[in-house]
Amino acid sequence: MTITTGKKREKLDRLSELAARQDEQGVSVWQEAFRRLRRNPAAIVGAVIFALFVVVALVGPFLVPYSPTDTIGIREGLIRPGVIPGIDGDHWLGYDHQGRDEFSRLIVGARQTLLVGVVATLIGLAIGALIGGVAGTAAGLGGRWGRWIDSTLMRFIDMLLAMPSLLLAVSIAALLGPSLITVMIAVGVVSVPVFARLLRGSMISQSNSDYVLAATALGVKKSKIALTHVVPNSLAPVIVQATLTLATAIIEAAALSFLGLGNQNSAIPEWGVMLAEAQPYLGVRPGLAIYPAVAIIITALGFTLLGEAMREALDPKLRK
Amino acid sequence: MRAPRPKAAVAAIAVAALAVAGCAESDRDSDSGGSKKDTLVFGVAGDPKVLDPSFASDGESLRVARQVFETLVRPEEGGTKVTPGLAESWEPDSTGTVWTFKLRSGVKFHDGAEFNAEAVCKNFDRWYNAKGLMQSPDVTAYWQDVMGGFAKNESADLPPSLFKSCTAKDATTVDLAFTRVSSKIPAALMLPSFSIHSPKALEQYDASNVGGTAEDIKYPAYALEHPTGTGPFKFKSWDVANKTLTIERNDDYYGDKAKLKTIIFKTISDENARKQALRSGDIQGYDLVGPADVEPLKNEGFNVLTRPAFNVLYLAINQKGNPKLADIKVRQAIAYALNRQALVDSKLPPGAKVALNFMPDTVEGWNGDVTKYDYNPEKAKQLLAEAGASNLTLRFHYPTEVTRPYMPNPKDIFELLSADLKAVGINVQGIPLKWSPDYLNATTSGAAHDLHFLGWTGDYGDGYNFIGTFFDRVKPEWGFNNPELFAQFKDADTTADAAARTEKYKALNKAIMDFLPGVPISHSPPAIVFGKDVTGIKASPLTDERYATAEFKS
Amino acid sequence: MFRFIVRRLLQLIPTLFGLSVLLFIWLHRLPGGPETAILGERGTPEMRAQIRRNLGLDEPILVQYARFLRRMIKLDLGTSTSTKRAVTTEFVERFPGTVELTIMAMVLAIGIGIPLGYLAARRRGRLLDHASVGGSLIGICIPVFFLAYVLKAIFSEHFHWFPSSGRQDPTIGATRVTNFFLLDGLMTREWDAAADALWHLVLPGIALASIPLAIIVRITRASVLEVLGEDFVRTAEAKGLTENTVRRRHVLRNAMLPVATSIGLLTGGLLSGAVLTETVFAFSGIGAFVAEAIGQRDYPVLMGFIMIIAVVYVLVNLIVDLSYSVIDPRVRVR
């Protein structure tokens, strides 16, 4: 939905090539990258947002002033059609449309939002890694069947990339019914091709790299090469891509919620759902939409900044 | 590859534009640039489905039909009482099965054909003699709802027809004969699906030919392009690509002619987008106003009209679900546990009421003297304890992706109701389902549900349309079998005398509230809004607003 | 070359066949069918059964699939179960809206994105650079539907500068020829209709353009920076060519290659954004229609849509492959 096909392909291929480069240049690449990250103000901003978000998500729910499900405003008769009380001394961001404390919901919502992002990314990563891994191995083994398996899988992945991701997610959600898990799966499946392409690319570029050839020539077992070189080297691009995918996952989850396919369980607030549910009340209390929207934007921004900075730091081509 | 040159590209586009310019004829009327004050653009939530109301059951198709067509009898403006339409008077014979209608004379259809008794009979015969796909329940939904079956039923599932025959006694007198006495006559005849069409147009555009293969229904041209009635407006065009449908004043109308020349119905499915379109001046009115918007729009000076509530929202209890629910005490406990007043005050539009019956108080037969079940959580807990159901867990289905006039915000309603139930110690397992098709499937035909809510908007002003629809037979929605109650319904339905029937409805309402198959929750008045300078429209409980009387204040 | 094209087109047949089998089975396994959507709360179990029979949904799936195939061979996509009109008619009436909207978004994204990206690269590290990079980051991170609401609230609700919904003011009564409203206006010389259609495209166009714009700015910037560092640019500068010449002949031309590739591929992804934009702007297009069809279990519409997307996808890939061989003589198609 967000980062679209063209950019995806190009960047993925670039990122996967990086995997091969690292061992050739030695461990200092990591140190070098980290040093460069520390100097990059965008990276620092991203890291701070990232850290803040994670801390709020983990600790926040224990610190909120009110229960996020307590319909205080309705009990006290403050909520009327067309009337939602705004900010007062005890309720820092006022009430939501069901008379619950908006600030508490926003804080508790961070956890669900993080959970959706992480689980969706992990689902995408797991399936993508499987497909990409099989394709990469097949391509590496070569032969008629190997090439056939590789090209069939990649054609399938290309088709997935070309499918409008939101429609794909909508149809998955139609299959499973609206829930938090649906959103996770739908968003996760959409990111499968990203990871599949990434892993396949990195495996192929590594199998052609000098250090693997050297290791093979030295008689190191294939399985050992895979464990000690190929897998660790694929890790960096995967971490970078996962950070970026987290950002898009949060935004895509919000879009699904807007279309009414999101989490329906109000006991656990989530930013995308809060934003979607605020639509009918835009005229009454625009804040109800603005707070979660801003929270989503800032979080996604943080993840993107950090991910981009990591990618730049690892990419020797941009290192001038 | 050569880099694209901006100048060359601009030149190419200009040449292309010149090349296409003027290569097609404009078919615009010369007078279409007329004053904007002659045109009302009204925002609706969905595209109409078909323009022949015989085949329609969705609100947007019927809204158009109500302007273009007329029925024999029609509801009074702003109410539900049966008043003259194309028929000036009507009366049943002594058996109550033959009704004689005296027709208005001097009425012409839009295509110039004469309206008379023969035309009426052609219409009824067309419906009654439906063949093939025209007998499909989605095609002739309201005919089947009211009349049951057809002359020759092609499916064993169809009941025998209530309608028997139509006889034109003279040009302005028509006899409609029915197979038995029914509470539906004459009130149901004011449904737009019983609109009288021009027999000439019906024939010309092959209106009864619902063709194609079974899985691939093809509607005739009449239903898609040529609806021809007697109403104050004529159908002009339906522009699917721009989501607009245009109707124009019928200058030969026999009654008061429409004040505006053109009405355009514009589809804007998103509720918030409709509101923004009104504020930005794109449209001069819209339907299905969110409850939260009523007050703000009023304060901004828009004309917000509130329709008298003609619907009911209820909590259904499935006695076949959890065995405990067959215990009347448990059902009573649920009723006492619900704080319906708080729900009505906070979530439903201004003017909404807590429901005492399964029908609104505007319908004859409403009974205020029934068991009321006012909010009383203590009593609820006590009843649960007595029934030995202190640790009850219930599956509570609720719909998503839907708003209905009786439930503007299902999720909010669910949250409040389930909080009430939890407060008396009932464990609620919330199950959200997509309204269509999952929710309706699960709650109205499946067995694996305990609680859910649903509602009904009345079709016409007879009580049977409410309570009979819910409770006159065994339904999977409720899961009970109460032959005594069913017999009482049958008796009321076949009572010819209106006053006597009303009394029977009152007794039924009492019996229902004692048996408590579910809990009626609320009646909410849906709102409709018009621009600051639009007047003349009267809100109707049946959503039978007549745009002919709309005008702009100068 | 000719044989290559023929072979690729023949490959389309098994692809479509496989895709249609998979889709058919998957769609028909979705819980609930069109009958509930059609009848709503008025449906009884008997009525639903009757409709399933009418639609042939009670037959074995193989029989249903065979019927579908027979229709497809005749290029008949069937009738939509929700709108009851022919699927082809629906597509003919709704695709143009989405195409117009997408083109508008791409024009905005390219027209603003490339100059902005170029300027940002030339002024690297300066305010404009930071602003455009920051802006493009926000463009990626802002939910499209939220942006759409904000745009409408400001520019049409508050200032009344732009219309908030639809494709054209219905009171204009414009003539329809192709359903591309802008084109229709030009063809029939109804200039006001064309201008009005264009006016209606501005806000949804901006909302939809936000993401591609951001991406194009970033790609252009990165690619220009890369080219600026290349030896041939330095050589050209050293030769004493004017800045304009260097910019036109060397920098832009070489920097545009990756941008052009990504633009082609971005267009496909716009369809996702179109679903949201069309919903919020009540814009008659294919995106929102298909999203709704999923909810209505409108099998004919869904099958038809995905078949068309698949054909378009294969054709676009074919054209891309062919164009590579034209651009780069080293690539030979066989």
Q: Mapped to the 3 state alphabet, what secondary structure does A213-261 carry?
A: HHHHHCCCCHHHHHHHHHHHHHHHHHHHHHHHHHHHHHHHHHHHHHCCC
Using DSSP's 3-state secondary structure scheme, residue C248 falls into helix
Q: Return the residue in B150, B216, B300, B401 with the most chain C beta carbons within 10 A, the one to mutate for interface testing.
A: B216
CA of A263: which chain B residue's CA is closest? B432
DSSP conformational letter for B445 = T
Q: How far apart are CA B250 and CA B232, in angstroms?
A: 5
- Encode pLDDT of A205-233 as tens digits: 777 777 777 887 888 777 777 767 776 77
Name the C residues in 158-217 with CB < 8 Å from any B CB: 160, 163-177, 179, 181, 183-184, 186-190
Higher local confidence (pLDDT), A40 or B55: B55
Whether residues B243 and C282 touch (CB distance < 8 A) is answered with yes
Pick from B216, B243, B455: CB nearest C78: B216
What sign does the dihedral A287-A289-A290-A294 (CA atoms) show? Answer: positive
Cα of A283 to nearest chain C Cα, Å: 10
Pairing of the two strands B427-434 and B451-457: unpaired
Q: What is the DSSP letter of C157?
A: I
CATH 1.10.3720.10 assigned to domain A41-80+98-318? The reply is: yes
**What tokens does A252 get?**
């895509």
Beta bridge partners of B235: B247
- ∠ CA(A28), CA(A31), CA(A34), 5° rounding? 150
Helix, strand, coil percentages, rounded to 5, for chain C: 80, 0, 20
Tell me the shortest Cα–Cα distance from A189 to chain B, in angstroms.
21
How crowded is the C-beta side of B533, counted as CA atoms within 13 Å? 11
The predicted complex's ipTM stands at: 0.80
Left if phi > 0, otherwise alpha if psi is -120 to 50, otherwise beta: which for C36?
A: alpha
Q: Check: CB of residue B307 under 8 Å from CB of residue B525.
A: yes
The span from the CA of A314 to the CA of A22, in Å, is 9
Residue partners of C189: CB distance under 8 A and separation at least 6: B21, B22, B26
Check if the beta carbon of residue B332 is closer than 8 Å to that of residue B323.
Answer: no
> DSSP class of residue B457?
E
Query: Facing residues of B237 across strands?
Result: B246
Q: Which of A15-29, B222-236, B295-309 shows the lowest mean pLDDT across its residues?
A: A15-29
Phi, psi values for residue B361, rounded to 5°: -75, 0
State the DSSP H helix or E strand holding residue B432, giving kind and residue range, or none if neither: strand B427-434
- Please tell me the distance in Å from B371's CA to the nearest CA on chain A: 26
Sequence letter at residue B537: I
> Which residue would you say has higher pLDDT here, A1 or C231?
C231
Judged by average pLDDT, the poorest of A309-318, B268-277, C3-12, C70-79 is A309-318
Contact status, residue B162 vs residue B179, Cβ threshold 8 Å: yes
Indicate the residue of A260, A264, A284 with minimum beta-carbon distance to B292: A284
- Nearest CB to A259; choose among C226, C266, C291: C291
| Pairwise CA distance, residues C99 & C104, whole Å | 8
- Residues, chain C: 334
Show the tokens assigned to A262: 């999101």
Contact B28 C49 (CB under 8 A): no
Nearest to B338 by CA among B524, B518, B525, B523: B518
**Interaxial angle between packed helices A143-162 and A192-207, expressed in degrees from 0 to 180 and rounded to the nearest 10:** 150
Residue of C61, C82, C118, C171 best to disrupt the B interface, most CBs of B under 10 A: C171
Question: Given an 8 Å threshold on Cβ–Cβ distance, is C37 in contact with B437?
Answer: yes
Terminal-to-terminal C-alpha distance of chain C: 7
Q: Are strands B233-239 and B216-218 parallel, antiparallel or unpaired?
A: unpaired
Within A64-179, residue ranges assigned H as helices are: 72-75, 102-141, 143-162, 165-176
Helix A180-190 and helix A165-176: axis angle, to 10°?
A: 150
Percent of chain A with pLDDT over 90: 13
Cα–Cα distance for residue pair A269/A61, rounded to 1 Å: 11
Burial of residue A259, with CB atoms counted within 10 A of its CB: 0-12 exposed, 13-18 middle, 19 or more buried:
buried
Q: Which residues from A are below 8 Å from C290, CB to CB?
A: 167
Report helix, strand or coil for B247: strand
Q: What's the distance, CA A245 to chain centroid? A: 3
Pairing of strands B451-457, B393-400: parallel
Put simply, whether A115 touches C (Cβ < 8 Å) is no
pLDDT at C333: 47
Q: What is d(CA C214, CA C201) in angstroms, rounded to the nearest whole number?
A: 19
**Which residue among B3, B137, B276 places its CB closest to the CB of C47?**
B137
Output DSSP code: residue B257: P
Phi-psi region of B122 (alpha: psi -120 to 50; beta: other; left: phi over 0): alpha
Residue C255 phi, psi (nearest 5): -75, -20
The tens place of each residue's pLDDT in chain C, 334 residues long, gives 677 778 777 767 777 777 777 777 766 766 666 666 666 655 667 777 777 777 777 778 788 888 778 877 777 777 787 777 888 888 888 889 988 998 899 899 989 998 999 899 888 888 988 899 888 888 888 988 899 989 988 998 888 899 988 888 888 878 888 888 888 888 888 888 889 999 999 999 999 999 889 888 988 888 888 888 777 777 887 887 777 777 777 777 777 767 766 676 666 667 778 888 888 888 888 888 887 787 677 778 877 887 777 777 667 667 766 665 665 555 554 4
**Cβ distance of C143 and A166 shorter than 8 Å:** no
The answer, for A176 touching chain C at a CB cutoff of 8 Å, is no
Neighbours of chain A (3+ CB pairs under 8 A): B, C
What angle (nearest 5°) sits at the alpha carbon of residue A127, between those of residues C320 and A145?
Answer: 60
pLDDT of amino acid B4 = 47
Q: Which of C39, C40, C164 sits opposite B277 (nearest CB)?
A: C164
Residue B304 is predicted with a pLDDT of 94
- What number of CA atoms fall less than 13 Å from residue A104's CA on the CB side? 21
Q: Supply the pTM of this predicted model.
A: 0.83
CA distance to partner chain C, nearest, from residue B384 (Å): 32
For the beta carbon of residue C69, count every other beta carbon within 10 angstroms: 13
Q: Under DSSP, is residue B211 helix (H, G, I), strand (E, B) or coil?
A: strand
- Largest Cα span, chain A: 79
Query: How far apart are alpha carbons A8 and A158 in whole angstroms?
Result: 11
Dihedrals phi, psi of B482, to nearest 5 degrees: -130, 80
Distance, in Å, from the CA atom of B507 to the CA atom of B488, rounded to the nearest integer, reads 9
Q: What is the pLDDT of residue B110?
A: 95
Would you tell me which residues 128-187 of chain C have a C-beta closer than 8 angstroms to some C-beta of chain A? 137-138, 140-146, 149, 153
User: What is the side-by-side order of every strand in the sheet holding B173-178?
Assistant: B87-92, B98-103, B173-178, B163-170
pLDDT digits (tens, 9 = 90+) for A20-72: 555 555 555 667 777 777 888 888 888 999 999 999 999 888 888 888 888 78
Q: How far apart are CA C306 and CA C297, in angstroms?
A: 14
Higher pLDDT, C190 or B324: B324
CB contact set of A314 (below 8 Å; sequence gap of 6+):
A18, A22, A29, A33, A236, A237, A240
pLDDT of res. B326: 93
Which range, A147-156, A167-176, A228-237, B503-512, has the best average confidence (pLDDT)? B503-512
Residue linked to tokens 């909120």? A64
Q: For residue A228, what are its two tokens?
A: 């000690």
| Tokens representing residue B423 in the block | 């407060």
